[in-house]
Structure 1
Amino acid sequence: MGDRELPADLRRLWRRAPSPRLGRPAELDVDRVVAAAVDLADREGLDGVTLQKVAQSLGFTKMALYRHVGSKNELFELMADHATGPAPEFGEDTGWRDGVRRWAAAMRARCAEHPWLVDVPAAGPPRGPNAVSWMDALLRALRDTGLALGTQAGVLSMISGHVRNAVVLARQYAAADQAEVERDYGRALAELVDPARFPDAAALFAVSAFEPPPGNPADHDFEFGLNLILDGIAAAIAVSPQ
């Protein structure tokens, strides 16, 4: 498939621009539009990003943006790929488990830099060059595990979902003291839950399972969930044909 056969939004996402026209260079391009939109999102969140606001910040009309961005949803995809950036190097000699762990931690850190990333609607699998670089990095970590490529793609989806969920929950708890919220929840429910009616739930509250561990509860929850996923991957590797 040649460049001309590619959808216009994919050409813009990969910066496969059409041949330049004769005359003066364009004053506006995709990169300028996306950089302005990302700056706006960093300051006001994704809800604060509109084509009108981006155009105003650049000194152009909204209609001028449509030559470089086809829609608001396309702008969001361009922004996400730009803000995520290329995947860092994780090293290929550390073993799959450490590689996946580093990948997840790096993606979580990138989302912490741009919290609005988790608000971008998921419109399908990764399509942009930076998103594909993160895909490639995780597949590289899993390359020698013996897992089928389809299974590796499933791991990518699961790890990405865990990171996204962890970032969302951490942001929701940020308005309150997560440790205090969990502690108060556990103590209150221990008083309210009747063992005769909810025996297993009552047993959980009776052992103070919601007393927060030392440190940042968000970090603890992230590591706990990640370790469960890594153990699941290890189990899948153990039974996969090598």
Structure 2
Amino acid sequence: MTSEDFVPAPLRRLWRMTESSRLGRPAALDIDLVVAAAVEIADRDGLGGVTLPKVAKSLGFTGMSLYRHVGSKDELLTLMTDYALGMPPDTDTDSGDWREGLRRWAFAQRAVLQRRLWLTRVPISGPPSGPNQIAWMEVALAIMSRTRLDWAHKVGVLSLIGGYVVQAVRQHSELAESRAEDRREADAERDRTRALVRLVDPERFPETAQLFSSALFQAPPPSDTPCETVADADFSLGLELILDGIAVRMERS
């Protein structure tokens, strides 16, 4: 193998390029088993519940035995992220409607993150590198292939929308947890809003005063409005603002 052909061990494992057992027998433990067990723990206990010893114990092995298949905790997180993300759904990338395509792409990613909230907690350690991550990126690039955006702008769009999806899902989850812990928070929040309306001087903060006196603050959603309905509306609004900005950039290209 030449230096040009060399693939680092973590990437070989991520792309399942591992060699077969030298003894000619199937290994009792492999990367897929390790990663599946780790994802199962994360689905149940959250990302903080995933440790190499706990994963090994769930499989009936010692912690040291995992290092033959996973080099470190950081590598395990990378493997878990790619596995949990899965392949993207079938998307029509030939319609030429980049806006609708990116909208569906964003909502599809959101659906995955909503099922596995711990994915929003995984530290970003670099650009997409796993086969599933690359597949998601390929879909978005194909959607933008008929636009006049250059590669730098296409990568920027991917980063912007992807980051927005993660942040939106994480923020909604944290707000939902907060409300579940203390139902009185909603009343306290309304009291704070009313207090702010009184404190904000229209002469000193004219725009903010108008905002606080607008229907957005004065007429909150009915208590029987499903939280998911509000979350969907908030997510769509933010996404459309991003797509509007992309459209302007395309016109200037």
- Provide TM-score, normalisation by structure 2: 0.88
Q: For residues 83 and 3 of structure 2, what CA distance do their matches in structure 1 show?
A: 24
Unaligned runs of 5+ in 1: none
Deviates more, 1:203-212 or 1:224-233: 203-212
Does the CA contact (< 8 Å) of 2:96 and 2:146 recur in 1? no
1:225 aligns with 2:238: yes
Q: For residues 148 and 3 of structure 2, what CA distance do their matches in structure 1 show?
A: 34
Alignment match, 1:22: 23
One-letter amino acid of the structure 2 residue matched with residue 161 of structure 1: G
Does the CA contact (< 8 Å) of 1:183 and 1:212 recur in 2? no
Closer/same/farther in 2, CA of residues 2 and 30 from structure 1, 3 Å limit: farther
What is the aligned residue count?
240
CA deviations 1:82-136 (Å, max 9, x no partner) are 0000111111226101000000000000001111000000001100000000000
Question: What is the aligned counterpart of 2:172 among 152, 170, 173?
Answer: 170
Alignment match, 1:206: 213
Alignment match, 2:74: 73
Q: For residues 30 and 107 of structure 1, what CA distance do their matches in structure 2 show?
A: 25
Unaligned runs of 5+ in 2: none
| Identical pairs, percent | 53
CA-based RMSD of the aligned residues comes to 2.1
Alignment match, 1:87: 88
Q: CA deviation at 1:60?
A: 0.2
Closer/same/farther in 2, CA of residues 27 and 2 from structure 1, 3 Å limit: farther
Q: For residues 94 and 145 of structure 1, what CA distance do their matches in structure 2 show?
A: 8
Deviates more, 1:94-103 or 1:199-208: 199-208
Q: For residues 206 and 130 of structure 1, what CA distance do their matches in structure 2 show?
A: 47
Alignment match, 1:106: 108
1:192 aligns with 2:194: no
Deviates more, 1:85-94 or 1:8-17: 85-94
CA deviations 1:48-82 (Å, max 9, x no partner) are 00001000000000000000000001101100100
Does the CA contact (< 8 Å) of 1:69 and 1:75 recur in 2? yes
SS at match of 1:27: coil
Q: CA deviation at 1:186?
A: 3.2
Deviates more, 1:121-130 or 1:20-29: 20-29
Alignment match, 1:6: 7
Does the CA contact (< 8 Å) of 1:170 and 1:218 recur in 2? yes
Does the CA contact (< 8 Å) of 1:186 and 1:209 recur in 2? no
Closer/same/farther in 2, CA of residues 26 and 76 from structure 1, 3 Å limit: same
Runs of 4+ in 1 over 6 A off after TM superposition: 1-4
Q: CA deviation at 1:185?
A: 4.5
One-letter amino acid of the structure 1 residue matched with residue 28 of structure 2: E
